């Protein structure tokens, strides 16, 4: 009776298509998020995350349709982030078939949004996405916006503590220094955030080698999110799980068919 | 026909589709007659215990459940939909516990665990005579909750552990319930749903 560590692939979606290159040779259409979600499910993903990077209202409507179609055929938890600014936005996504939503910039602009969403739907639907980097703040980590290009002027640990008090159910910690480098998760940052939070912690940014995944778990992560290593086929989800299982981390086997 | 009781916002679409895979017609409804008459009724649950009970009372849900049990019609509670079948819940309660539907005597209280919610895939320890878990006893299921019942009720129990041991599922004649989300537990969850639908 041990809770398994979760392996979560993340798909960036815009106007109904997955962006960032993908090289699954066994996909008919590598850019279809529903098809990719189904494939990751078959490969043993424990959850799925869609990040909506659409710039337009029409693009966001398309994302709702993607969520609907995914929820119709993939029966594992689905988190959707990107562009969520209100309780109504959350309601629309949940009704379309999302299980959780992740918020980032809108919560920084108005922290009370966290409490509003948690009060209406419960903390369990709410993931706080924190884009953080090393900086000369009190804790040594600061929150960034605009994909890590700008400082939000907020200390990362202070923000996590505030958000937990307001009612987030989970934290998605993205290292903007490590993101895309495949040089490993920022272990110091994971350790620091773990120490100030009692909700599940998802580590993101920097996954490269199989050892990187276990190092993040040792630092206190409960779940591991990765994008490019899965999309580009550097590792299959099954490879990560086999490696972790072999090293005595609790993992869920690929589901029965 | 299977009815999924709609008494608040949340993701009912997944539940609707998941139960439809078992081969029966599925309706999402707040209609009392439809809910009482359906071959099987699913009571999902979102949010906190008291908020969930308020939503349930808004559609006369407790009376629907009692009437179904009196008429020997199967009902399945999921997640908070399991918790509110107990007599009491302590979530967000500073003084006296909140009252539940009371199908089972017992109190739903917070798990003593360092990290909450209990979120993710966990295994269960199942009685050998389970209908729901037949053929999937060794599988993992998806949990998202901070509160749980910790004392045995009903004829069959499945247990899991997060910080402490808690009831992961109960089978008790026409009333069954799972603390985890079968509609989110992949192939194993669909198999459990099929087992329940097959028992109707």
pLDDT tens-digit readout, B43-99: 998 778 888 999 999 999 999 999 999 999 999 999 999 999 999 999 887 788 999
pTM assigned to the model: 0.95
B30, B7 Cβ separation under 8 angstroms:
yes
Q: Which residues contact A19 (CB under 8 A, 6 or more apart)?
A: A12, A13, A31, A53
A96 within some domain? yes
Chain B touched by A96 (CB under 8 Å)? yes
Give the mean pLDDT of A144-172. 95
With beta carbons less than 8 A apart as the criterion, state whether B168 and B160 touch.
Answer: yes
For chains A and B, CB pairs below 8 A equal 119
Distance CA A97, CA A239 (A): 29
Q: Which of A1, A91, A255 sits opposite B9 (nearest CB)?
A: A91
Provide the ipTM: 0.93
φ/ψ (deg, to 5) at A20: 75, 140
- From the number of C-beta atoms within 10 Å of its C-beta (0-12, 13-18, 19+), residue B37 rates as middle
pLDDT at B26: 98
Q: Please count the structural domains in chain A.
A: 1
pLDDT tens figures, A73-121: 899 999 999 999 999 999 999 999 999 999 999 999 999 999 999 988 8
Q: How far is CA A60 from CA A6, A16, A19, A52, B83, in A?
A: 27, 8, 15, 7, 35
Which range, of A54-63, B67-76, B162-171, averages the lowest pLDDT?
Answer: A54-63
- Looking at beta carbons, which pairs linking A34-42 to residues 24 or more positions away fall under 8 Å? A34/A66, A34/A69, A34/A70, A34/A73, A34/A74, A36/A11, A37/A11, A37/A70, A37/A74, A37/A78, A38/A70, A38/A73, A38/A74, A40/A9, A40/A230, A40/A237, A41/A74, A41/A75, A41/A76, A41/B186, A42/A254
Domain with B194 in it: 2-198
Q: Which residues of B touch A77 (CB under 8 A)?
A: 142, 144, 181, 184
Helix A187-196 × helix A156-166 angle, to 10°: 40
Spatial contact of A59 and A19, defined as CB atoms under 8 Å apart: no
Q: What are the residue numbers of the active site of B?
A: 79, 181, 183
Question: For position A210, which CATH number holds?
Answer: 3.20.20.70
Q: What is the pLDDT of residue A255?
A: 40
Q: How long a stretch of residues is chain A? A: 257
Q: Is residue A257 part of a domain?
A: no
A141 lies in some domain: yes
Q: Which residues of A touch B184 (CB under 8 A)?
A: 75-77, 99
Q: How far is B82 from chain A (nearest CA, A)?
A: 16
The answer to whether B99 and B108 have CB atoms below 8 angstroms apart is: no
Is residue A177 assigned to a domain?
Answer: yes
Compute the average pLDDT of residues B139-151: 97
Domain that holds residue A45: 6-246
- A253 found inside a domain: no
Query: Hey, which residues does A57 pair with through a beta bridge?
Result: none
Mark yes or no for CB contact A76/B185 under 8 Å.
yes
**Dihedral-angle region of residue A79 (phi above 0 means left; psi in -120 to 50 means alpha; beta otherwise):** beta
CB within 8 Å: A199 and B116? yes
Chain B positions touching A99 (Cβ under 8 A) are 11, 14, 144, 184
Return the active site residues of A. 12, 131
Structure tokens at A256: 């029965």
Furthest-apart CA pair in chain A: how many Å? Answer: 51
Determine whether the interchain pair B17/A256 forms a contact, defined as Cβ–Cβ distance below 8 Å. Answer: no
Q: Chain B within 8 Å of A65 (Cβ-Cβ)?
A: no
Assign B10 a pLDDT band (cuts: 50, 70, 90). Answer: confident
Is A95's Cβ below 8 Å from some Cβ in B? yes
Query: What total number of domains does chain B contain?
Result: 1
CATH number, domain of B136, equals 3.40.50.880
Within 8 A of A3 by CB-CB distance, chain B residues are 118, 120-122, 143, 162
A256 part of a folded domain? no
Among left, alpha and beta (phi > 0; psi -120 to 50; other), residue A206 is: left
CB-nearest partner of B184 from A2, A99, A257: A99
What distance in Å separates the CA atoms of residue A130 and residue B18, rounded to the nearest whole number?
A: 32
């Amino acid at each position: 009776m041990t809770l398994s560590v979760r392996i979560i692939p993340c798909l960036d979606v815009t106007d109904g298509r997955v962006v960032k290159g993908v090289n699954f040779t066994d996909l008919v259409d590598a850019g279809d998020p529903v098809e990719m979600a189904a494939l990751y499910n078959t490969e043993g993903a424990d959850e799925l995350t869609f990040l909506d990077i659409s710039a337009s209202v029409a693009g966001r409507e398309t994302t709702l349709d993607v969520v609907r179609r995914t929820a119709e055929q993939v029966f594992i938890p689905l988190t959707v982030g990107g562009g969520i600014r209100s309780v109504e936005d959350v309601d629309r996504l949940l009704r379309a078939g999302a299980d959780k939503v992740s918020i980032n910039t809108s919560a920084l602009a108005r922290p009370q949004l966290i409490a509003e969403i948690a009060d209406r739907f419960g903390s369990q639907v709410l993931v706080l996405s924190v884009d953080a980097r090393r900086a000369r703040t009190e804790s040594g980590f600061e929150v960034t916006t605009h994909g890590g290009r700008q400082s939000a002027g907020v200390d990362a640990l202070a923000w996590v503590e505030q958000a937990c008090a307001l009612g987030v159910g989970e934290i998605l910690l993205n290292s903007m220094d490590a993101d895309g480098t495949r040089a490993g998760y920022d272990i110091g940052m994971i350790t620091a955030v773990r120490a100030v939070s009692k909700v599940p912690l998802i580590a993101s940014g920097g996954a490269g080698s199989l050892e990187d995944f276990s190092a993040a778990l040792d630092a206190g992560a409960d779940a591991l999110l990765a994008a490019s290593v899965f999309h580009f086929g550097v590792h299959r989800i099954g490879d990560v799980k086999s490696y972790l299982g072999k090293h005595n981390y609790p993992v869920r086997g690929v589901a029965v068919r | 026909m299977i009815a999924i009781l709609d008494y608040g916002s949340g993701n009912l679409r997944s539940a609707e589709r998941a139960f439809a895979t078992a081969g029966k017609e599925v309706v999402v409804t707040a209609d009392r007659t439809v809910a009482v008459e359906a071959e099987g009724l699913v009571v999902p649950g979102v949010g906190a215990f008291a908020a969930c009970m308020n939503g349930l009372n808004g559609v006369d849900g407790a009376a629907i459940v009692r009437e179904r049990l009196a008429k020997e019609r199967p009902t399945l509670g999921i997640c908070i939909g399991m918790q509110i079948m107990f007599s009491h819940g302590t979530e967000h309660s500073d003084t006296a516990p909140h009252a539940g539907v009371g199908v089972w005597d017992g109190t739903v209280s917070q798990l003593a665990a360092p990290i909450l919610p209990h979120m993710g895939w966990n295994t269960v320890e199942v009685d050998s005579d389970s209908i729901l878990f037949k053929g999937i006893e060794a599988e993992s299921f998806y949990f998202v909750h901070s509160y749980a019942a910790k004392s045995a009720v009903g004829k069959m129990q499945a247990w899991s552990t997060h910080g402490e041991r808690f009831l992961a599922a109960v089978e008790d004649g026409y009333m069954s319930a799972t603390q985890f989300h079968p509609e989110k537990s992949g192939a194993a969850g669909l198999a459990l749903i099929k087992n329940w639908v097959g028992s109707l």
